[in-house]
Amino acid sequence: MIASVLHLDRKAVRALKVTDCYSVHRVVYSLFDDMRNDSQKIASESSGILFADQGNTKDGRRILLLADRSPKNCIDGTVVDIRSLYISDDFLDHDQYRFKVIVNPTRRSSTSKVLVPVKGVEAIAQWFAEHASSSWGFAVAPAHLSVGPVNVALFQEKANRQVTIAQAHVEGVLSVIDREQFTHSFRRGIGRARAWGCGLLQLAPVSHRTH
């Protein structure tokens, strides 16, 4: 896996028309060759690309990337500042990590079967803890989670379909309980809306590696 930091200065932001969640998605995906065919896209097979938009800085915009292949440094003739490094094989061998992640907290309604957003700091923390242990291969204590701002992104995607996504910033300390599942979560992202900047686990080890 390759981790990268993309920095778009003000000139690049203007040239690439970066204005909303969809335009960030477009820029990020333009950095990589698409390895999927049409049927794989329809089946929602993973793109192998994760990103987390860090928002505007005083001199541009910063976006974190994680992918299974190397990014390019030019988009439609615009050269961009992107710095990458390979993640070592033993990076995921630790027992505990400090983490940050942007997630799209949703539940499926038992009556209408549609996805509805999870609202409120405590409810989001509980939702996160439940999914962590059941689906993502790690455990967290809801009381020790920090649920930061919850932003609502409104945008039109390529087919002019209106999209609304809640993006909750969550951070804390996780303990690995299923190494294989945890590795998959890191490589493929967690939760929904990964194509729109959710699901990238930003990790920093806080324990000795397992033996």
In a domain, 210, yes or no: no
For CA atoms 154, 33, 43, 131, the dihedral sign is negative
- The first and second tokens of residue 49, run together, are 């690309």
Do residues 141 and 55 both lie within one domain? no
- pLDDT category, 16, cuts 50, 70, 90? very high
Do residues 78 and 139 both lie within one domain? no
- Name the amino acid, one letter, at 76: D
What is the pLDDT at residue 68?
Answer: 93
Predicted TM-score (pTM) of the model is: 0.88
What is the pLDDT at residue 154?
Answer: 86
The answer to whether the CB of 24 falls within 8 A of the CB of 197 is yes
Do residues 115 and 180 both lie within one domain? yes
Question: In whole angstroms, what is the distance from residue 187 CA to residue 2 CA?
Answer: 10
Please write the tens of the pLDDT for every residue from 162-189: 888 999 999 999 999 999 999 999 999 9
- Of the three residues 29, 55, 86, the one that is the final residue of a domain is 86
Q: Is the pLDDT of residue 46 over 70?
A: yes
What is the pLDDT at residue 57?
Answer: 80
Do residues 162 and 94 both lie within one domain? yes
| Portion of the chain with pLDDT greater than 70, in percent | 93
- Of the three residues 29, 64, 86, the one that is the final residue of a domain is 86
Look at residue 106 and give its three-state secondary structure. strand
Q: By C-alpha distance, which of 171, 210, 158, 209 is closest to 52?
A: 171
In which element (H, E) is residue 120 found? none
Q: Is the pLDDT of residue 148 over 90?
A: no
Do residues 182 and 118 both lie within one domain? yes
- Name the amino acid, one letter, at 158: K
What is the pLDDT at residue 159?
Answer: 73
Conformational region of residue 55, where left means phi above 0, alpha means psi within -120 to 50, and beta covers everything else: left
Query: Any idea what the CATH number is for the domain that residue 29 is in?
Result: 3.30.70.1200
| Angle value at C-alpha 193, between 187 and 198, nearest 5 degrees | 60
Do residues 97 and 77 both lie within one domain? no
What is the pLDDT at residue 44?
Answer: 60
What is the pLDDT at residue 5?
Answer: 95
The total number of structural domains that make up the chain? 2
Least confident of 44-48, 57-61, 98-102: 44-48
In a domain, 211, yes or no: no
Do residues 110 and 61 both lie within one domain? no
Do residues 95 and 177 both lie within one domain? yes
Q: Which residues pair with 156 in a beta bridge?
A: 162
What is the pLDDT at residue 203?
Answer: 97
Q: Which residues pair with 151 in a beta bridge?
A: 167
| Angle value at C-alpha 205, between 200 and 207, nearest 5 degrees | 145
| Residue range of the domain that includes 194 | 90-205
Do residues 43 and 96 both lie within one domain? no
Count of CA atoms in the C-beta half-sphere (13 A) of 162: 2
Q: What is the DSSP letter of 189?
A: -
What is the pLDDT at residue 70?
Answer: 93
| Portion of the chain with pLDDT greater than 90, in percent | 65
What is the pLDDT at residue 207?
Answer: 61
Do residues 166 and 67 both lie within one domain? no
Please write the tens of the pLDDT for every residue from 72-129: 999 988 999 999 999 998 999 999 999 999 999 998 877 777 888 899 999 999 999 9
Q: Is the pLDDT of residue 209 over 60?
A: no
Question: In whole angstroms, what is the distance from residue 188 CA to residue 190 CA?
Answer: 7
- Name the amino acid, one letter, at 115: L
